[in-house]
Amino acid sequence: MIASSLAFCSLVLASAEVVTLPLWPEGVPSPMPPKSEATAKLIASYGGATATRLTDIAEPSISVYRPEKPNGTCVIVAPGGGYMFLSASFEGTEVCEWLRSLGVTGVLLKYRTPTRDAPEPFALPVQDGQRALSLVRKQAAEWKIDPRRVGMMGFSAGANLAGHCAWDRQPRTDSQGSALEDPRGPDFLIFIYGGGFLDKVDSGAEPASVKFRPGFSVPADAPPVFFVVAHDDKTAPVESAHLYLEYQRRKLSAELHIYARGGHGFGMRRNGQPINDWPERCEEWLRSQDLLTGR
């Protein structure tokens, strides 16, 4: 079923700009947690679902943005939204269009949400992220992608998702306890105002008191990473700086940009602040990693 569905989709991709494919055509492996009244009220306080804010996603999917002349690199984009909704415009579709302008195949990941009421809000979204990595690599030849150049870019909660795909080596299971497909993680990571890996982060804490959550560590084979965050973004700068220092300690490839102002959720917005230039810095980093050269 999956093979035939993907074969059909590859034919469609050859003649369409953007195609949306189901991640689990035979059914998702784990049920969605029930949405609490508190979560429903919180989502409503943001204005509820809109064309640019997606929620109640029970059937996750990927939307593929192929450039006219693919250079072989692919980036799976995970929007943020606190595991309540997806900020699908500034952190999603606009990002994929920008990637496409660089010759990069952008893949918008619409992962299951809301999951904030689950014991591990990231668990089901990470399943979807791992599945997206696997599907993209299976279709690499058809989509003119180098399977060794498939990265992930995440914003806020989406960065948490992407970080788990890149750094978390704990095996995960579905609701029946069966081992899930466990593809290797992304080949590179773009981590934008993400968090969730430190234990009880306090923006005023002394560096020595900041520790990773129990059971988490940056693995020795962690992929190259590009960090972007604003200094005035509550605890996110502490997270990014601590993760960067761990990369440095392990002598792994990383680049960190902390801008003085920008807050949280700036995405691809252009409002005259220096932080708006992060896509240019990211492009430079991608080029330095030899990810914008066709092969």
Is 275 among the domain residues?
Answer: yes
Three-state DSSP state, 20? strand
Whether the CB-CB separation of 19 and 63 falls below 8 Å is answered with yes
Residue 33 scores a pLDDT above 60: yes
- Residue 131, domain member (yes or no): yes
Residue 99 lies in a domain: yes
Query: Do the bridges between strand 189-192 and strand 225-230 make them parallel or antiparallel, or are there none, so unpaired?
Result: parallel
Residue bearing the bigger pLDDT, 137 or 47? 137
CB neighbour list of residue 211: distance below 8 Å, 6 or more residues apart: 198, 199
> Which pLDDT belongs to residue 294?
78
Per-residue pLDDT at 14: 47
- Give the residue-averaged pLDDT of 258-262: 95
Kindly state the helix (H) or strand (E) to which residue 137 belongs, with its residue range. Answer: helix 123-138
**pTM assigned to the model:** 0.91
CATH number at residue 215: 3.40.50.1820
Burial zone of 11 (CB within 10 Å; 0-12 exposed, 13-18 middle, 19+ buried):
exposed
Is the Cβ–Cβ distance between 84 and 55 less than 8 Å? yes
Does a structural domain hold residue 293? no
Q: What is the predicted pLDDT for the residue at 208? A: 62
- Whether the pLDDT of residue 175 is over 80: the answer is no
Q: Which amino acid is at 141?
A: A
- 66 pLDDT higher than 50: yes
Structural domain span for residue 99: 2-288
Average pLDDT over the chain, rounded to an integer: 89
Instruction: With respect to residue 294, please indicate whether it lies within any of the assigned structural domains.
Output: no
Omega within 30 of 0 (cis) for the link into 114? yes
Q: Predicted confidence band at 181 (pLDDT cuts at 50, 70, 90)?
A: low
169 located within any domain: yes
The b/e string for 128-148 (b: 16+ C-beta within 10 A; e otherwise) is bbbbbbbbbbebbeebbbbbe
What distances in angstroms separate CA 215 from CA 60, 168, 222, 260, 275, one per listed residue? 28, 9, 16, 32, 33
Residue 59 lies in a domain: yes
Please check whether residue 295 lies inside any domain of the structure. no
How far is 132 from 3, CA to CA, in rounded Å? 15
Residue 263: which pLDDT band, with cuts at 50, 70 and 90?
Answer: very high
Contact 117, 82 (CB under 8 A): no
78/286 Cα distance (integer angstroms): 18
Residue 239 has pLDDT above 60, yes or no: yes
Tell me the pLDDT tens digit for each residue of 100-150.
999 999 999 999 999 999 999 999 999 999 999 999 999 999 999 999 999
Task: State yes or no: pLDDT of 1 exceeds 50.
Answer: no
Domains held by the chain: number? 1
Residues whose CB falls within 8 Å of the CB of residue 73, separated by 6 or more in sequence, listed in order: 103, 104, 105, 145, 146, 149, 150, 151, 286, 291, 292
Grouping H, G, I as helix, E, B as strand and the rest as coil, residue 190 is: strand
> Angle at the Cα of 71 (from 277 to 67), degrees rounded to 5?
75
